[in-house]
């Protein structure tokens, strides 16, 4: 393709919402120590095209978030794409926001960024990216010139950054690190300079669905039956249940709320309210009697179920370990809880449920 077509193809492929959930699931299933080489944290990236002629003809703006700090944009950049006739390549000029930190910045709406002038940014030409086409693999490779992206760090002296990216129609890969030039030691790197793999997730709702734990996608109202057994497998109790799962967003935080109604609605045996927050790839929650967390069952993509671990506030109560498995259509789920006290099994609970209603989208402010 000619250079103008290449530029527009790069701009189109780079835009959108991305997540590395599939890579995280694979590394969690792989096991091993929590070393930098094992990518275990969910990251999301949103890349938008700006109408900002004061900056350039083709302007992109991206923010990247980590699950451990969803209230901050770990990376936040403006990129201007243009043809570089001297290099015979598409050049991506990186614009760095002036004022405040370089990383972990407060999120900034694209509409506000589009109104900023050139004076709002610092330019470091050595840190620009140059794209070359690799048609046999249907991708573009972008990288900085070796040793060109240099800057002075207040503590580490002169530093050199290295960055490389692969751009596919439905995937974005990158790796990033910086070196101290005084001795060649690593100042900072993303996961041991390994490649981060981001898959495309179209739209904000699709991004939220893809990057939040599977338990979030079970939001709605579930009606079912609890069957409780003792350690020897003797059925001790049976009763109906209604479970309501809600998810909302407030000031950049994902909040979780679950209501359990055990028994009939007109004569409930008990009502349990659990509240929590979603971060670091897990749902963290607490009720009057228990506190715990939920994560996806590893090794599957998309996740088909969840693992829950609950610890009692009263040491006299048992720990609860529960697995949840959903049907492919999302309308049924099956739960198995094991109650453990001092390392010994004291009971099991089986729950079969059917989804009555489903929230169509996550609520936000």
Give residue for tokens 């010994």: 344
Give start and end residues of each alpha helix (H) in 303-359: none
| Whether the Cβ atoms of residue 61 and residue 110 lie closer than 8 Å to each other | yes
- The model carries a pTM of 0.60
**Cα radius of gyration rounded to whole Å, the chain:** 25
Average pLDDT over every residue of 7-25? 90
State pLDDT tens for residues 78-93: 999 999 999 989 999 9
- The segment(s) of the chain belonging to CATH 2.40.128.590 are 3-210
Average pLDDT over every residue of 331-351? 96
- Specify the length of the chain in residues: 365
Output b/e per residue, 229-250; b: 16+ Cβ within 10 A. Answer: eeeeeeeeeeeebbbbbbbeee
The per-residue pLDDT for 211 is 57
* Strand, coil or helix: 35: coil
For residue 302, is the peptide bond before it cis, meaning its omega torsion is within 30 degrees of 0? yes
Residue 52 predicted with pLDDT over 50? yes
The per-residue pLDDT for 267 is 72
Q: Which strand (E) or helix (H) includes residue 222?
A: strand 220-230
The DSSP line for 77-135 is EEEEEEEETTTTEEEEEEEEESSS-SSSBPP--HHHHTT--GGGEEE-GGG-EEEEEEG
The DSSP line for 22-33 is HHHHHHHHH---
pLDDT band per the 50, 70, 90 thresholds, residue 202: low
More confident: 313 or 303: 313
| Whether the Cβ atoms of residue 90 and residue 59 lie closer than 8 Å to each other | no
| Whether the Cβ atoms of residue 140 and residue 10 lie closer than 8 Å to each other | yes
The per-residue pLDDT for 1 is 67
State pLDDT tens for residues 147-190: 999 988 888 899 999 999 999 999 999 999 999 999 999 998 88
- The segment(s) of the chain belonging to CATH 2.40.128.20 are 213-357
| Structure tokens given for 306 | 């969840």
State pLDDT tens for residues 233-280: 999 999 999 999 999 877 667 889 999 999 877 777 889 999 998 876
Closest CA to 19 of 280, 201, 278, 190: 201
More confident: 6 or 36: 6
Query: Who's near 92: CB < 8 A, 6+ residues apart?
Result: 10, 79, 80, 81, 128, 129, 130, 131, 142
For domain 3-210, the CATH superfamily is CpcT/CpeT domain (2.40.128.590)
Q: What is the mean pLDDT of the chain?
A: 88
Average pLDDT over every residue of 102-115? 90
Residue 204 predicted with pLDDT over 70? no
| Structure tokens given for 257 | 């709320």
CATH number of the structural domain 213-357: 2.40.128.20
Query: Who's near 18: CB < 8 A, 6+ residues apart?
Result: 44, 45, 46, 47, 172, 198, 199, 200, 201, 207
Closest CA to 169 of 292, 48, 12, 42: 12
pLDDT band per the 50, 70, 90 thresholds, residue 334: very high
Average pLDDT over every residue of 31-42? 73
Torsion region of 88: left, alpha or beta (phi above 0 gives left; psi -120 to 50 gives alpha): left
The per-residue pLDDT for 129 is 97
| Whether the Cβ atoms of residue 73 and residue 106 lie closer than 8 Å to each other | yes
The per-residue pLDDT for 364 is 43
Query: Who's near 148: CB < 8 A, 6+ residues apart?
Result: 126, 127
* Strand, coil or helix: 176: strand
More confident: 132 or 66: 132
């Amino acid at each position: 393709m000619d250079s103008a077509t290449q530029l527009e193809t790069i701009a189109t492929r780079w835009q959108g919402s991305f997540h590395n959930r599939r890579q995280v699931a694979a590394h969690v299933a792989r096991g091993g120590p929590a070393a930098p080489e094992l990518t275990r944290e969910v990251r999301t990236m949103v890349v938008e095209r700006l109408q900002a002629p004061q900056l350039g003809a083709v302007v992109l703006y991206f923010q990247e978030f980590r699950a451990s700090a969803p209230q901050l944009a770990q990376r936040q950049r403006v990129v201007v794409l243009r043809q570089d006739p001297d290099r015979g390549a598409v050049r991506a000029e990186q614009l760095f926001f002036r004022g405040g930190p370089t990383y972990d910045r407060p999120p900034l709406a694209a509409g506000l960024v589009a109104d900023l002038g050139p004076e709002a940014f610092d330019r470091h030409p050595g840190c620009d990216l140059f794209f070359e086409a690799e048609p046999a693999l249907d991708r573009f490779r972008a990288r900085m010139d070796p040793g060109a992206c240099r800057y002075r760090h207040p503590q580490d002296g002169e530093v050199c950054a290295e960055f490389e990216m692969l751009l596919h129609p439905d995937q974005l890969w990158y790796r990033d690190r910086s070196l101290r030039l005084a001795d060649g030691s690593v100042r900072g790197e993303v996961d041991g300079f390994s490649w981060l793999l981001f898959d495309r997730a179209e739209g904000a709702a699709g991004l939220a669905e893809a990057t939040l734990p599977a338990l979030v996608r079970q939001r709605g109202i579930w009606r079912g039956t609890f069957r409780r057994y003792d350690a020897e497998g003797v059925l001790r109790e049976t009763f109906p249940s209604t479970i309501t799962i809600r998810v909302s967003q407030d000031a950049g935080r994902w909040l979780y709320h679950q209501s359990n109604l055990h028994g009939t609605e007109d004569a409930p045996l008990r009502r349990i309210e659990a509240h929590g927050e979603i971060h670091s790839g897990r749902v963290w929650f607490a009720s009057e009697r228990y506190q715990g967390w939920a994560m996806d069952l590893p090794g599957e993509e998309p996740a088909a179920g969840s693992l829950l671990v609950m610890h009692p506030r009263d040491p006299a109560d048992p720990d609860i370990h529960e697995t949840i498995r959903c049907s492919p259509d999302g309308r049924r789920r099956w739960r198995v809880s094991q109650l453990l006290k001092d390392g010994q099994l004291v009971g099991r609970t089986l729950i079969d449920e059917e989804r009555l209603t489903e929230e169509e989208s996550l609520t936000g402010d």
